[in-house]
C-alpha cells in the first residue's frame, strides 16, 4: 500500500445503491454529444478543405461521392466501432470496479504513469473541448447582433458569452453526472427537431441527388489562403476511402468520450445498463444524427435548394432550405443546445483533476482548467476542430486498444494498479500515437488508412504481445476491494 500514490489510495468505489439506470445517465448524456451540431454538420464533409472553408470537403464530393449507400455503410460501421471498441471495455471496467478511468487506467499505464495517461491528458483535452464549445457558442449567439459575422471573434460580446458559457458548464461538471444528465435531458431535443425539420424539407430531393454532380462541383473549388496560396479540392476518394474517411472523422471525434465510458460505467447498475447506454446513446444517436445530415445535404443538392453544389456542410445549406431568417433562428437554438456537450467535457475534466489531485480543492484545479478553456475560446484558437479530431484519435486510439488487451488478459476483469510506469502500456501508446498521427509526420501523410483505428489496433496488439513477453510491471494491492 505504501507504493500507491495518494490519488489511488483516496479512490472509493461508487456504492451500488447510488448507481442509476442507463436511460437517466449514460444514454442521454452521450446522445447529447452526438447531437451536437459541431459533430453532425460535417459528417457529409469528412475533412474540410481549410478550417475557414470547412463547408467544402478536401475530396471532391466528400462522403457523398459514391452516393448514400456507401456513406451510410461507413456511418454505421463507425458508430459500431465507437460502441464496441472504444466505449464498451472502459464502461465495463467502470461497472465492475466502481472506479473512474484514472484509477482503472493504472493497470495499463502504472500508478505513476497513470497520473499522466490517461489522467492529466484526458483532463487537458476535455478543457480543450470546453474551449471549442464555448468558442462556437459565443460565435452563434453573438452573430445576429453583428452586421459583419467575421467581426464576432475577438469582440467583447463574444468574450463575455464564451466566459459565461465555460464557467456555467464547469460548474455543472463539478456537480456530477446526475446534474449533467439533467441538462442533457431536454436540450438535445432542439438539434433533434432541427434535424427532422431540415430532413422533411429536403427529403423530396434525395431521389434526384447525383453523386457525380457533387464530385464535378467539388473539383471546381479553389480556396485562397492569406490571399496568396491556392488550395484546390483533391479527386474523389474510392469507395473504401470514403468509408475510411468517415470512420476517421467519427472515431477521432469520439475517442476521448469512449475512454470516459469508465466514468459512466461506475455509475451504472449492471452490464445491461452499460450495453444499452452505449447502443442507444452512442451507436443509434450517431447513426441518427449523421444519417439525417447526409440526407439533408443530398436532398438539398438534389432538390435545387443549394446555391453552391460543392457545399457539403449541413448547417451551411439551411438558408436555402428554410430561408435566411429561419436559418438564423435555428443556428441560435443549436448554440443553446450545445450546452450539454460542454457540461460533459467539464464533467470528465473535473473527474480527472479530482481523482489525480485529490488534495487540491476541485474548484481551484477545475477553475484553472476552465481559465485555459476561456483563453482558447476568446482568442479564436479553438476554432479548428477537424485538426483536433485527428490529434484526439491519435492520442486515445492506443489508450482504448491497450485497455481492451489488458482487460482480456485479466480474464475480463480489472487487473489492479501496477507499479511505476507499466512498460507494456507506454510502449504501445508511443508507437500507437505515432501511427495515429501519421498525417502530421513528413512523408507519412495519407499512408495510414483510418489513423484512429490503426492506432487502436497497434495499441491492442503491442500491449498483448509485450504483456505476454513479461513487460508488465507488478500488480499492487488496493487498500480496499473493488466491487
Task: Give yes or no for residue 1 having a pLDDT over 60.
Answer: no
Cα-based distances in Å from 460 to 101, 382, 425, 455: 17, 31, 10, 9
Question: At 205, is the pLDDT very low, low, confident or very high (cuts 50, 70, 90)?
Answer: very high
Cα-based distances in Å from 98 to 117, 266, 447, 448: 19, 4, 41, 37
404 within domain boundaries: no
Among 42-51, 407-416, 448-457, which is the least confidently predicted range? 42-51
Identify the pLDDT of residue 444.
Answer: 72
Positive or negative torsion for Cα 260, 266, 270, 271: positive
C-alpha neighbours within 13 Å on the C-beta side of residue 294: 26
Q: What are 48's strand-pairing partners?
A: 57
Peptide bond preceding 342 in cis form (omega within 30 of 0): no
274, burial (CB in 10 Å: exposed 0-12, middle 13-18, buried 19+): buried
CA distance 374 to 21: 34
Q: Which of 120-124, 319-323, 327-331 has the highest mean pLDDT?
A: 319-323
Among 6-10, 60-64, 316-320, 479-483, which is the least confidently predicted range? 479-483
Which tens digit of pLDDT belongs to each residue from 395-416?
899 999 999 999 999 999 999 9
Which tens digit of pLDDT belongs to each residue from 337-370?
888 788 878 887 887 777 677 778 878 888 888 9
Residues 199-212 have a mean pLDDT of 97
Here the CATH number for the domain that contains residue 314 is 1.10.4160.10
Task: Give yes or no for residue 33 having a pLDDT over 90.
Answer: no
Question: At 371, is the pLDDT very low, low, confident or very high (cuts 50, 70, 90)?
Answer: very high
Question: At 182, is the pLDDT very low, low, confident or very high (cuts 50, 70, 90)?
Answer: low
Identify the pLDDT of residue 483.
Answer: 45
126, burial (CB in 10 Å: exposed 0-12, middle 13-18, buried 19+): buried
Question: At 482, is the pLDDT very low, low, confident or very high (cuts 50, 70, 90)?
Answer: very low
379 within domain boundaries: yes
126 within domain boundaries: yes
439, burial (CB in 10 Å: exposed 0-12, middle 13-18, buried 19+): middle
Which tens digit of pLDDT belongs to each residue from 236-295?
999 999 999 999 999 999 998 899 899 899 999 999 999 999 999 999 999 999 999 999
Residues 99-103 have a mean pLDDT of 88
Identify the pLDDT of residue 226.
Answer: 61
When the pLDDT of each residue in the chain is averaged and rounded to a whole number, the result is: 88
Identify the pLDDT of residue 177.
Answer: 60
Total domain count for the chain? 1
Provide the percentage of residues in the chain whose pLDDT is more than 70.
93
402 within domain boundaries: no
Among 164-173, 176-185, 394-403, which is the least confidently predicted range? 176-185
13 vs 152: which has the higher pLDDT: 13
CA distance 330 to 82: 29
429 within domain boundaries: no
Instruction: Assess contact for 463 and 410: CB atoms under 8 A.
Output: no
Among 166-175, 385-394, 419-428, which is the least confidently predicted range? 385-394
Question: At 49, is the pLDDT very low, low, confident or very high (cuts 50, 70, 90)?
Answer: confident
180 vs 91: which has the higher pLDDT: 91
Task: Give yes or no for residue 440 having a pLDDT over 90.
Answer: no
Question: At 181, is the pLDDT very low, low, confident or very high (cuts 50, 70, 90)?
Answer: low
Identify the pLDDT of residue 381.
Answer: 77
CA distance 260 to 31: 14
2 within domain boundaries: no
> pTM of the prediction?
0.89
Which tens digit of pLDDT belongs to each residue from 120-169?
788 878 888 888 889 888 888 887 777 766 678 788 999 999 999 999 98
What domain range includes position 167?
20-384
Task: Give the residue among 195, 190, 222, 199 at the shortest CA–CA distance from 305.
Answer: 199
Instruction: Assess contact for 398 and 432: CB atoms under 8 A.
Output: yes
Q: Which of 67-76, 174-183, 218-227, 252-261 has the highest mean pLDDT?
A: 67-76
Amino acid at each position: 500500500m505504501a507504493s500507491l500514490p495518494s490519488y489511488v489510495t483516496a479512490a472509493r468505489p461508487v456504492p451500488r445503491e447510488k448507481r442509476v439506470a442507463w436511460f437517466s445517465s449514460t444514454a442521454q448524456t452521450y446522445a447529447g454529444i452526438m447531437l451536437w451540431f459541431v459533430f453532425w454538420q460535417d459528417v457529409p464533409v469528412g475533412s474540410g478543405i481549410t478550417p475557414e472553408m470547412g463547408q467544402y470537403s478536401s475530396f471532391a464530393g466528400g462522403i457523398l461521392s459514391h452516393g448514400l449507400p456507401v456513406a451510410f455503410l461507413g456511418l454505421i460501421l463507425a458508430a459500431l466501432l465507437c460502441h464496441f471498441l472504444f466505449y464498451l471495455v472502459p464502461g465495463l471496467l467502470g461497472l465492475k470496479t466502481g472506479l473512474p478511468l484514472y484509477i482503472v487506467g493504472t493497470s495499463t499505464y502504472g500508478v505513476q504513469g497513470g497520473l499522466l495517461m490517461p489522467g492529466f491528458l484526458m483532463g487537458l483535452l476535455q478543457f480543450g473541448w470546453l474551449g471549442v464549445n464555448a468558442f462556437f457558442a459565443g460565435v452563434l449567439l453573438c452573430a445576429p447582433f453583428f452586421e459583419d459575422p467575421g467581426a464576432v471573434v475577438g469582440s467583447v460580446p463574444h468574450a463575455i458569452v464564451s466566459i459565461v458559457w465555460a464557467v456555467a458548464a464547469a460548474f455543472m461538471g463539478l456537480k456530477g453526472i446526475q446534474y449533467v444528465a439533467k441538462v442533457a435531458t431536454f436540450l438535445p431535443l432542439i438539434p433533434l427537431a432541427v434535424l427532422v425539420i431540415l430532413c422533411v424539407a429536403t427529403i423530396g430531393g434525395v431521389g434526384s441527388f447525383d453523386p457525380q454532380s457533387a464530385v464535378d462541383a467539388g473539383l471546381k473549388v479553389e480556396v485562397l489562403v492569406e490571399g496568396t496560396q491556392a488550395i484546390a479540392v483533391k479527386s474523389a476518394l474510392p469507395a473504401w476511402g470514403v468509408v475510411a474517411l468517415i470512420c476517421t472523422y467519427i472515431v477521432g471525434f469520439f475517442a476521448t468520450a469512449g475512454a470516459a465510458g469508465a466514468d459512466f460505467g461506475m455509475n451504472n447498475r449492471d452490464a445491461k445498463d452499460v450495453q444499452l447506454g452505449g447502443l442507444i446513446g452512442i451507436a443509434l444517436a450517431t447513426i441518427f444524427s449523421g444519417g439525417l445530415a447526409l440526407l439533408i445535404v443530398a436532398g438539398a443538392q438534389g432538390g435545387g435548394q443549394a446555391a453552391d453544389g460543392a457545399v457539403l456542410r449541413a448547417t451551411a445549406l439551411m438558408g436555402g432550405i428554410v430561408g435566411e431568417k429561419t436559418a438564423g433562428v435555428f443556428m441560435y437554438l443549436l448554440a443553446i443546445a450545445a450546452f450539454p456537450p460542454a457540461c460533459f467535457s467539464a464533467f470528465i475534466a473535473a473527474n480527472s483533476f479530482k481523482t489525480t489531485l485529490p488534495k487540491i480543492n476541485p474548484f481551484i484545479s477545475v477553475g484553472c482548467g476552465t481559465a485555459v478553456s476561456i483563453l482558447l475560446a476568446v482568442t479564436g484558437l479553438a476554432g479548428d476542430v477537424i485538426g483536433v479530431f485527428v490529434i484526439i484519435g491519435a492520442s486515445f486510439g492506443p489508450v482504448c486498444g491497450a485497455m481492451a488487451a489488458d482487460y482480456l488478459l485479466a480474464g475480463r476483469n480489472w487487473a489492479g494498479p501496477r507499479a511505476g510506469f507499466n512498460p507494456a502500456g507506454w510502449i504501445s501508446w508511443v508507437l500507437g500515437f505515432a501511427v495515429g498521427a501519421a498525417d502530421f509526420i513528413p512523408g507519412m501523410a495519407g499512408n495510414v488508412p483510418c489513423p484512429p483505428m490503426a492506432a487502436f489496433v497497434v495499441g491492442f496488439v503491442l500491449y498483448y504481445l509485450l504483456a505476454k513477453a513479461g513487460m508488465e510491471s507488478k500488480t499492487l494491492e488496493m487498500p480496499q476491494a473493488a466491487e
